[in-house]
Structure 1
Amino acid sequence: MQYLEGRRYVVMAIFLAVALTFGARLFYIQVLDGSYKLAADRNTLQRIVQVPYRGLIYDRNNQLLVQNTPVYDLMVVPREVKQLDTLRFCELLSLPLEEVRESLKAARSFSRVKASPLVQNLSTPELAAIQDNLIDFPGFSIKARMARSYRTENMAHALGYVGAITPAFLENERFSKYMPGDFLGISGLESFYEKQLMGRRGVQYRMVNVRGIEKGAFRNGEFDTLSIAGQDLHTSIDIELQKYGEMLMKNKRGSIVAIEPKTGEILAMVSSPGFEPSVLTGKGMGNRYMALLNDETKPLFNRPLMATYPPGSVFKVVNELVALQMGVVTPGTAFDCNWKLVRCTHRHEYPSNVGIAIKQSCNPYFYQVMRAAVLRGRSTNRFEDARLGLSEWRRKVMAFGLGDKLGVDISQEKKGLVPSSDFYDKRNGYHRWNYRTIYSLSIGQGELGITGLQMANIMATIANRGWYYTPHFVRGIGNGGPLPQYTVRHTVGVDAQHFEAIIPGMQAVVDGRGGTGSNASLLDVGISVAGKTGTVQNRHGEDHATFAAFAPAEDPKIAIAVFIENAGFGGSSAAPMASLIIEKHLRGKIAPWRGRWEEWLQSPAERFIRRH
């Protein structure tokens, strides 16, 4: 009897323990843990994210360049897909079976309960085909969104493109506000100004029943937030000038950069070969991108920012300005055209001053100018003299924005190279090089490398007599101005009087009798051009042609640099091309008698190489 009584207590204890466990668990769920309430709310609440309109992009004359157009994505919630007739589904969308299977696998990997895009950028016929049959495919839905479209066929490198966010982006804290399936700027202005263009998302909460049917706003919209559209970008680009430059550079490799000197605003930036911006939009964009990437002409390569070349004779004006500021030469200093020092490409009279030397692009003259700046009679140790002198010379040259990024408002900009003493120490050995090792820098050759943007900025600096604003594309964001860094004036540390000393020589290059850039003259339409030609040695083939200038010389409104690969002498090809761009910008039209230049310059570069 006592044994049975003991068993009864044991059973009672078990039941009591179970009851206490359930009671404690219920207390925790109902009072302490809010996750079940949150899950219940999620069954009755639907959170709808409103993606704002992306800001538009205009040119300097308020011509619309980039806009938003509605597109449609086919979304899928993997858990809700039941007995999918895959064959019929693929036929409706005209998609390969394997592609659909891979997309479904990726959607399941992302989430089985959340919607993710299965097919993006549906065309109108595809949308019509699937929408009428969507009832037969549970788990699939159509989502409308806005996508980028272009009102221009030009300036693809500068505008950039928008693409779907990748897992690598999502891991970056900078993109913490984005979600899978979102789109963002990948390159160009779209990327640099992503924060301004994207706007701010809005959220709406809607009550739904167990079948997902909407029953109205939650608490009369108390917790809803409105989306805020992105800010528009007003660029400094003259799209008609850009179009004209791209036409002239057709069939050639190279770049054109045109800047308004007084503001640093970029008027045109041409990279050739190029592509149309619409190529990187819509369905099949990935395949088209890979085709561009594998194209041997490298159309994705942004030459004005990424291609670095020796500047050739254009650099002689920088070399002269540095020497004038250092006081080692004067505007009247004369040097012999001594071919024993370096070969001169032009036979001419004795250079009696800097103006004649610039006009005739005398190599021995500028060899001796740089030698005076670097050596300065420091000591009897020619190795140490060259080492110390080059370091000082380099600092003054880099003040012109060379050897480092200027900071333009799109990515991919390269620094270029102004070689240092350490550079030559590493290559040749300490105290194993002297001025004869580096003299080619004096004429813009050797290890020196600059971009097309830097070359145009040099001309803007000379036009301003010693200062520049960082070149930029965007002159206004929304109703405001440019970003603060583009309103800071940079001085190069050379007195204005020295610029006045070299500008007459640059005018003589174009407008003087026998000048190397006479093909750029616009005196017949009343425009004085100051410029400098360049022919860049190329060990892999024909020389490259360069020409850099500003106009009108007395009140500059445009600074320009033209670089054409394998086109020979700068005065024969790059100079006339620059003159057409200048005339187009300043007059809005081209004089009829210069129509022959247009036709000739549109031929491949090899056809207008002129040899001695």
Structure 2
Amino acid sequence: MRKLLLPTLIIIAASLLLIRIFYLQVINDTFKLKSENNAIKIKYDYPERGYIFDRNGKLLVANQASYDIMVIPRELKNIDTLEFCQLLNITKEDYIKKIEKAKVYSPRLPSVFLPQLNKSEFAAFQEKIRKFEGFYFQKRSLRDYEVDFGANIFGFITQVNERLIEKNPYYKSGDLIGRQGVEESYEEILRGIKGVKYIQKDKYNREIGSYKDGKYDTIAVQGEDINLTIDAEIQRYGEQLMINKRGGIVAIEPKTGEILALVTAPSYDPAILVGRQRSKNYTLLYHDSIAKPLYDRGLLAEYPPGSPFKILTGLIALQEEVIDEHTTFVCHHGFSYAPGRFMKCHGSGPHQLNNGIYNSCNTYFANVYLRIIGKYKSTPYAVDNWSNHLKSFGLGQFMGYDLPTGKRGKVPTSKTYKSIYPNWNYSGKTIISNSIGQGEVLMTPIQLANMIATVANEGYYYTPHIIKKIKGASIDKKFTTKHVTTIDKKYFKPMIQGLFDVYNYGTASSLRVEGIDICGKTGTAENFAKIGGKRVQLKDHSIFVAFAPKDNPKIAIAILVENGGFGATIAGPIASLMIEKYLRKKITRVDLEKRVLGISLRDQYAKLGGMKEASAIETTPKDSISRKETSTLKVDSTKQN
């Protein structure tokens, strides 16, 4: 038996080898196709990208035809470079540089010589392209923007680089890919599948027909259309209200987590990143270190949240049962928490939860926070317990939304304070600034919006997302998964009443909209920057969060306006206007609208390096504060904040 084992194994191995060789040489033509590449020309048929619509079916992004001039270096023969360069309005030096670059990529494979010719440029060159052997046209599809807003939402398309080509074999030289926004997030859905045709050539390099009668050819499959959750009208309106201002607006439908508006200011017309001027315009935007129009403040800007954070301080205290809605603290224009340490407040007299919220009393929430931390013998344990409550609102972490950029914000833990105070037993008074949204807490506008949406829902939220519908497919299940906070539902009702009374009796009483029950909270952030090596205080940032209606909320919103002053000065009016625009499709508070549209903060921004003149490619001015700034939070003021 052992004598037969070795011969048997040899026979089996030889048989398998022969079968494989027969398959590759007789049945499968794949390697034959590769070996005949020198006699085969590959042509790609690029599909249209999927269209982009808003939540109501309004077309936002379509397509337009574009043509690339492709070159196969080894097929170049007897080129009249002077005539060629004159036709395309390029220099001979440019011609040589582009040809050398194509040779480096591959002498025998096509690469882009000149991209994105429009119809008139294509027509002029098409008549004479037969004279320039080795060059041919490749039709592609570029974006055609039906609106002049939402650039940060859409992103843009650009040519793939060599690194990506090496990483992903689907892409070839000259292919286009989505970058930033939904173009990047949903690239594989929007791009479709390109078709391939194999053309047989004879020994004279002439095309003689399809290889193998088209056996290996494939047809292009158009990209799928998508509907965004964005409401085009309030997106446009939000960008209009933010002209001559800098900051971010995020609006969410509380019951679904759908993003209704995502505004960053300043922004730009998305159409400037289409065509042959795309690279030049992108470079201008990219190198604008003052305004940073490519920086999405709604997703990336991290700020101490200020007084809107008092909402969370109150809810955690209720959950921890260290207060109830009737617990009273007396305010004497501030709170003394250590020798020489005094937290100012514009309020006075006794405060409970309701008027503590609508008067934005620092003294009340400082005392509440001390009870939260003081409930446990171990301060580190108490801090981590407090931190875990905050994290249940989606804070201090990447939220998982379907856009390719973002920041996690910051929720401090016991580890945070161990690194700050390694040899010091800190207490609640040491970190008392956390009580009013100062201290080490940082939040992005989208986190603020999700927080107030969670309050509107009385304790749950859905991951914010921008995709509503994909033709022929379903959206990710994570966007329909409910996240429940650590706060019991019963504690949200008194808090919501306090937020409602902010509009009735408190810091937003002048911002009411007749017939709409709005709940909201003002905030103000101090703004410091280094100018000439000195720390200089500039005008405060304006913050506001709100939702409406009070019962069965349809919209939750967060606004941050850099250098906007008190929360009720600019951010608050914008919130009221955006809410009315969404719910009623019209504006009755024309006084607020006129006030906001008339406010320009360009002079404030000029203090940080000078104001650039608006260029011809802008739809809103380049006027944002340098991101080198640092921010801390200002004490809220009753009836002013």
Both proteins in one fold, TM over 0.5: yes
Q: Which residue of 2 aligns with 1:578?
A: 575
Task: Tell me how far 1:595 sits from its aligned partner.
Answer: 4.3
Q: Which residue of 2 aligns with 1:597?
A: 593
Secondary structure at the counterpart of residue 429 of structure 2: helix
Range moving further from structure 2, 431-440 or 105-114: 431-440
Task: Tell me how far 1:226 sits from its aligned partner.
Answer: 2.7
| Mapping 1:364-513, distance limit 5 Å | 364-376=363-375, 378-379=376-377, 385-512=378-505
**Aligned counterpart in structure 2 of residue 532 of structure 1, from 521, 528, 533:** 521
**Aligned counterpart in structure 1 of residue 134 of structure 2, from 125, 133, 139:** 139
* Cα distance between partner residues in 2 of 1:441 and 1:270: 28
The structure whose RCO (Cα within 8 Å, separation 6+) is larger is: 2
Task: Tell me how far 1:434 sits from its aligned partner.
Answer: 2.6
Letter in 2 for 1:350: P
Q: Which residue of 2 aligns with 1:97?
A: 92
Q: Which residue of 2 aligns with 1:323?
A: 317
* Cα distance between partner residues in 2 of 1:553 and 1:328: 27
Task: Tell me how far 1:83 sits from its aligned partner.
Answer: 3.8
* Cα distance between partner residues in 2 of 1:546 and 1:503: 18
Is 2:241 the counterpart of 1:245? no
Secondary structure at the counterpart of residue 68 of structure 2: strand
Q: Which residue of 1 aligns with 2:266?
A: 273
Task: Tell me how far 1:125 sits from its aligned partner.
Answer: 3.5
| Mapping 1:202-217, distance limit 5 Å | 202-217=195-210
Q: Deviations over 1:239-265 (max 9, x none)?
A: 111000000000001011111001111
**Aligned counterpart in structure 2 of residue 230 of structure 1, from 219, 223, 231:** 223
* Cα distance between partner residues in 2 of 1:346 and 1:230: 58
Q: Which residue of 2 aligns with 1:518?
A: 509
Task: Tell me how far 1:607 sits from its aligned partner.
Answer: 8.5
Equivalenced residue count is 569
Letter in 2 for 1:396: H
Secondary structure at the counterpart of residue 573 of structure 2: helix
Secondary structure at the counterpart of residue 431 of structure 2: helix
Task: Tell me how far 1:79 sits from its aligned partner.
Answer: 1.1
Q: Deviations over 1:131-154 (max 9, x none)?
A: 222233221112211112211111
Q: Deviations over 1:192-251 (max 9, x none)?
A: 111211222333334444445544444443433332222111111111110000000000
Q: Which residue of 2 aligns with 1:359?
A: 358
**Aligned counterpart in structure 2 of residue 300 of structure 1, from 294, 300, 311:** 294
- Asked if the contact 1:567/1:606 (under 8 Å) is kept, the reply is no
- Asked if the contact 1:93/1:129 (under 8 Å) is kept, the reply is no
* Cα distance between partner residues in 2 of 1:597 and 1:38: 67
Which of 1 and 2 has greater Rg?
A: 1
Q: Deviations over 1:103-158 (max 9, x none)?
A: 11110101111111100011334323322222332211122111122111111111
Range moving further from structure 2, 261-270 or 216-225: 216-225
- Asked if the contact 2:542/2:560 (under 8 Å) is kept, the reply is yes
Secondary structure at the counterpart of residue 350 of structure 1: strand
| Mapping 1:108-123, distance limit 5 Å | 108-123=103-118
* Cα distance between partner residues in 2 of 1:193 and 1:273: 25
Q: Deviations over 1:452-481 (max 9, x none)?
A: 000000111011100000011111111444
Q: Which residue of 2 aligns with 1:48?
A: 43
- Asked if the contact 1:190/1:197 (under 8 Å) is kept, the reply is yes
Q: Deviations over 1:472-516 (max 9, x none)?
A: 11111114442211111101121111000111110010122xx10
Q: Deviations over 1:527-552 (max 9, x none)?
A: 00001000112233111110100000
Letter in 1 for 2:232: I
* Cα distance between partner residues in 1 of 2:90 and 2:520: 57
- Asked if the contact 2:319/2:488 (under 8 Å) is kept, the reply is yes
Q: Which residue of 2 aligns with 1:7?
A: none
Q: Which residue of 2 aligns with 1:9?
A: none
| Mapping 1:60-209, distance limit 5 Å | 60-172=55-167, 175-209=168-202
* TM-score computed with the length of structure 1 as normaliser: 0.88
Q: Which residue of 2 aligns with 1:8?
A: none
Q: Which residue of 2 aligns with 1:311?
A: 305
Is 2:559 the counterpart of 1:565? no
Gaps of 5+ in 1: 1-29, 380-384
- Asked if the contact 2:461/2:482 (under 8 Å) is kept, the reply is yes
Distance 1:158 1:36, change over 3 A: closer
Secondary structure at the counterpart of residue 405 of structure 2: coil
Distance 1:197 1:104, change over 3 A: same
Range moving further from structure 2, 48-57 or 553-562: 48-57
Q: Which residue of 2 aligns with 1:16?
A: none
Same amino acid, percent of matched pairs = 38
Letter in 2 for 1:52: P
* Cα distance between partner residues in 2 of 1:596 and 1:531: 16
Letter in 2 for 1:301: Y
* Cα distance between partner residues in 2 of 1:168 and 1:607: 44
Secondary structure at the counterpart of residue 355 of structure 2: helix
* Cα distance between partner residues in 1 of 2:112 and 2:204: 22
Q: Deviations over 1:302-359 (max 9, x none)?
A: 00000000010000001111111111111111112152234344234421x2011001
* TM-score computed with the length of structure 2 as normaliser: 0.84
Task: Tell me how far 1:400 sits from its aligned partner.
Answer: 0.6
Secondary structure at the counterpart of residue 471 of structure 1: coil
Q: Which has the higher strand share?
A: 2
Letter in 2 for 1:309: Y
- Asked if the contact 1:156/1:276 (under 8 Å) is kept, the reply is yes
* Cα distance between partner residues in 2 of 1:606 and 1:365: 37
Task: Tell me how far 1:394 sits from its aligned partner.
Answer: 0.6
Distance 1:607 1:163, change over 3 A: closer
Q: Deviations over 1:39-86 (max 9, x none)?
A: 774455443333222111100111111112110111111112234333
Q: Which has the higher helix share?
A: 1
Q: Deviations over 1:251-293 (max 9, x none)?
A: 0010111110011111111000111111222102122111001
* Cα distance between partner residues in 1 of 2:301 and 2:569: 22
- Asked if the contact 2:507/2:640 (under 8 Å) is kept, the reply is no
Secondary structure at the counterpart of residue 295 of structure 2: coil
CA RMSD of aligned residues (A): 2.5
* Cα distance between partner residues in 2 of 1:501 and 1:363: 18
Gaps of 5+ in 2: 1-24, 530-537, 606-638
